[in-house]
Structure 1
Amino acid sequence: MDDTIRDITIIGGGPTGLFAAFYAGMRGKSTRIIDSLPELGGQLTALYPEKDVFDVGGFPRVLAKDLAKNLSEQALQFDPEVILDEQVRTVEWREDHFLLTCRGGEYRTRALVVAGGKGAFDPMKLEVPGYDEFLHRGVEYAVKDPAGYAGKKVVVVGGGDSALDWALILKDHAERLTLVHRRDGWRAHEATIRLLDEAVSAGEIDLRTFHEVREIRGSDVVGEVTIFDNRTDEDTVLEADVVLTFLGFKPDLGPIKNWGLEVEKNRIKVDALMATNVPGIYAAGDVVDYLGKLDLIATGFAEAAVAVNNAVHFVDPDARVNPGHSTNMKVFK
């Protein structure tokens, strides 16, 4: 057990959590970040590191992994304690601090900011023979390095933004790319759909609408995929080295649901101070809900600042909630 009591512990190492850690350090508070993933960055690094992000202020266009790198650098300048690949299971109030019980030990903190995104993002699975058998042996639900698909036969399954975005990116690397979707309608941005149409017309993507996966086969790794036309039940066998499934994720707050927080539809209810119903616990980012809530990285930053400033006041009632402008702070001199 770690008996060190940190002023503020941030649950979550995604964009909102990283900005919260920066802000807590800027306010001069001892800070800890705990995240269930093996690296900082949240979905930016775990799910779409090579995708461009366009709606963060100051960046006309930035790769997700580069945004995560910048946020990490900003957060780590005040030397927060960082604990990765760890999950907080229980939270208990002990006289003047919270006791956090995790898989690997116990930690203490005076205030808590929950910035866990949508919680654990378990991928929706293809319920077909071979999916579980070849998971991470040719079957994947995320792309780390597009260059790793050079010369490979790739089958992408899905009809949303992620499926279309990665199909458009990987077509320039793969030997052959097939996009499989059970309908002929898309859940993607209009501009992306136009790019897909152009790629299909140019013969760069083999599009199979009204098709679904029946089976994935191989030896040690994926070798082929059987798809079928859901209108005729006719099978087609495709050679494949990789099957990428982008079917969405099942959000799950996990143990957070048992911390005594007010939760509705898998989100934590907060007030205008980003305070939960439990004194000393604040929340920010995609995990929260309030009237007018927008799930944007930009709004997560603002919520993180509000949450941390009020957490600072909870830890030290004499501290001002509004710290003023960073340009005037001695910590940066």
Structure 2
Amino acid sequence: VFANKKVAILGGGDSALDWALELSTTSDVFLIHRRNEFRGLESSVTKLKSLKNVELLTPYLPKDLHLIDNKMELVLHKVGNSDEFITKDIDEILVAYGFKSDNRQLRKWGIKLENNLISVSQQMHTNLPNVYAVGDAITYPGRVPMIALGFGEAQIAISSIMQKLFPEKTMTFHSTSI
């Protein structure tokens, strides 16, 4: 879908950088981020800077998008007290903005939070009976903040739930059985 096209990617985290690296193999890429610094891996940024078909546009934010003769015209505004605008003609646009979980509402439910993240045990159990949590909204001692861990955490939670629901059964889990 993106091959031989001009692709604008909005974002500065690992997802945006990964998309830019992948699409740079077949496309011209404009990586647009609101800060000069990226949140993703520095090695990815370094690689992207070395590619002739990739342009890093910082610090810019999208201001407007126009469709002209079946082509998109993306207007970017330089961040800060600036009247500077630039325009890029593009074929495709990908938005790879991350987010921070806002779990403060969960405190009203009585769920224990640490630094606005849900505190869980090694079995992914919260402080409330029969309530489990996984993914980027949780914390536990030693947890590395990577969403990729959520898949394993989900398996741990399912195993814990199954053991609680069926304590008399011996559960043998394999990754393909969940």
TM-score (norm 1): 0.42
Equivalents in 1 of 2:133, 2:88: separation in Å?
Answer: 47
Structure 1 pair 259/312, CA: closer, same or farther in 2 (3 Å)? farther
1:121-163 CA distance string (max 9 Å, x none): xxxxxxxxxxxxxxxxxxxxxxxxxxx0123222222222222
Structural RMSD (CA): 3.5
AA of the residue aligned to 2:124: M
Q: Which residue of 2 aligns with 1:233?
A: 83
Asked whether 1:262 is paired with 2:114, we answer no
Rounded Cα–Cα distance in structure 2 between residues aligned with 1:292 and 1:249: 22
Gapped runs of 5+ residues in structure 2?
Answer: none
Counterpart contact for 1:157–1:246, Cα < 8 Å: yes
TM-superposition CA deviations, 1:239-279 (whole Å, max 9, x none)? 122222222124356xx949945142554332344333333
8 Å CA contact 2:77, 2:83 repeated in 1: yes
Q: Residue 214 of structure 1 aligns to which amino acid in structure 2?
A: K
Instruction: Give the match for residue 128 of structure 2.
Output: 278
Is 2:34 the partner of 1:182? yes
Alpha-carbon distance in 2 for matches of 1:188, 1:313: 38
Where 1:251 maps in the other structure, the secondary structure is coil
Q: Identify unmatched segments of 5+ residues in structure 1.
A: 1-147
**Is contact 2:135–2:149 with CA below 8 Å preserved after alignment?**
no
Deviation of the 1:192 alpha carbon = 0.8
Name the residue aligned to 1:168: 21
Tell whether 2:161 aligns with 1:311.
Answer: yes
Task: Mark the CA change 1:317 to 1:230 in structure 2 (over 3 Å): closer, same or farther.
Answer: closer
Find the counterpart in structure 1 of residue 73 from structure 2: 224
Q: Percent identity?
A: 29
Q: CA deviation at 1:172?
A: 2.6
Counterpart Cα distance in 2 of 1:178 and 1:318: 57
The ranges of structure 1 where at least 4 consecutive aligned residues each deviate by more than 6 angstroms after the TM superposition are: none
SS at match of 2:86: strand
- Report the 3-state secondary structure (helix = DSSP H, G, I; strand = E; otherwise coil) of the residue aligned with 1:149: coil
Name the SS for the 2:74 alignment partner: strand
The answer as to 2:61 corresponding to 1:212 is yes
Deviations 1:78-136 (A, max 9, x none): xxxxxxxxxxxxxxxxxxxxxxxxxxxxxxxxxxxxxxxxxxxxxxxxxxxxxxxxxxx
Deviation, structure 1 residue 222: 5.7
CA deviation profile, 1:201-235 (whole Å, cap 9, x unmatched):
xx211332333322111169662011234465232
Report if aligned partners of 1:155, 1:177 keep a CA contact under 8 Å in 2. yes
Aligned with 1:283: secondary structure?
A: coil
Matched residue type, 1:185: E
After TM superposition, the structure 1 = structure 2 runs for residues 241-260 of structure 1, keeping only pairs within 5 Å, are 241-251=91-101, 257=106, 260=109
> Shift in Å at residue 195 of structure 1?
0.5
Relative contact order higher in (CA < 8 Å, ≥ 6 apart): 1
Work out whether 1:159 is the aligned partner of 2:39. Answer: no
Give me the whole-angstrom Cα distance separating, in 2, the residues matched to 1:229 and 1:288.
Answer: 35
TM-score, normalised by the number of residues in structure 2: 0.71
Who is 1:191 aligned against?
43
| Change beyond 3 A, Cα 1:250–1:153 | same
Distance in 2 between residues matched to 1:153 and 1:258, nearest whole Å: 45
Aligned length: 171
Does structure 1 conserve the Cα–Cα contact (< 8 Å) formed by 2:32 and 2:57? yes
CA distance in 1, matches of 2:106, 2:53: 46
CA spacing shift, 1:216–1:257, aligned 2, 3 Å:
same
Q: CA–CA distance in 2 between the matches of 1:310 and 1:198?
A: 47
The CA deviation string for residues 28-52 of structure 1, in whole angstroms up to 9 with x for no partner, is: xxxxxxxxxxxxxxxxxxxxxxxxx
Amino acid at match of 1:304: Q
